[in-house]
Structures are given as C-alpha cells and as structure tokens.
Amino acid sequence: MKRLRGYIFARPFMGERAPQHVQNIILRDYCNKKGFELLLAATEYAMPDSFMILESVLDDLDSVDGVVFYSLYQLPTQSKIRNSVYSRALESGKSLHFAVEGMSITKPSDVDSVEQCLLVKTTLDNCITKVEV
C-alpha cells in the first residue's frame, strides 16, 4: 500500500478556508477510496505566503510515496516555486494528490490539468461579479 504524507493549511488559501479537522477528514476519505495509507498531515504555518512546512515535506520525500494536499489551491501562487514542487516530486518518482479536486500528478503531462485549474480560478477571481445598470 502506498503511503502519502498529508499536507494541510492553518490559513485561508486563494479565498477559501477550511478548518484543519475538516481538511484531515477529506484527506482520510480520499486515501481510503484510493487505497492509500495516510500518514500524519503536516500543517503549514499560518503566516501569509509561508511554504516552509511544504519544503520540509518535499525534503522528506524519500520516506513516502507522495503527498496528498487538501486542495490544489494550497500550492504556491508563484509559478516558479510551484514548478519546483512538481519537479522535485516527479524527479523523485513520487506523486502529488489533491483530495478536494480528486486530481493527481504522477507524470509530467498531469501538470497541465492542475495548472489549468489554477489559471481558471485566478481568472475568475479577477472577473467583475456585479454590474450596475
């Protein structure tokens, strides 16, 4: 059975917020449905734009088969840093999973789908939501 390290947030992400216990429930459900063993989730610091815990999780990839994020919207917003996350996992032969979206990155071509979701969310967040007539 493949072992995945959980990764959750203690702060809002891309305009979303979920309590930590809810994030853990979603991770557990995802792993149960997919046949993975969920290891204790690492919780990112609440400081804005902090990814120190994610860096630590990536440094420890040798001890797991991959990382399961609560949501792909918890990935770094800067594309250079995000691409480094993808590269580090794939070059180590590991996978990245996103429980809420039911998506995963197991090969380089999977990155495009995740990036498309991020692009759509970013675009929608910048759209006009109300027009006065």
Q: Which amino acid does the sequence have at 130?
A: K
DSSP letter, residue 16: B
Residue 131 maps to a domain: no
Q: Which of 72, 109, 106 lies closest to 92, judged by CA? A: 106
Highest mean pLDDT (candidates 12-21, 47-56, 96-105): 96-105
Report the interhelical angle of 52-59 vs 79-91 (nearest 10°). Answer: 20
Residue-number span of the structural domain to which 85 is assigned: 3-125
Question: How many domains does one find in the chain?
Answer: 1
In a domain, 132, yes or no: no
Is 133 inside a domain boundary?
Answer: no
Count of residues making up the chain: 133
Q: Which CATH number does the domain housing residue 17 bear? A: 3.40.50.1390
Report pLDDT for 127.
78
pLDDT digits (tens, 9 = 90+) for 41-71: 999 999 988 999 999 999 999 999 999 999 9
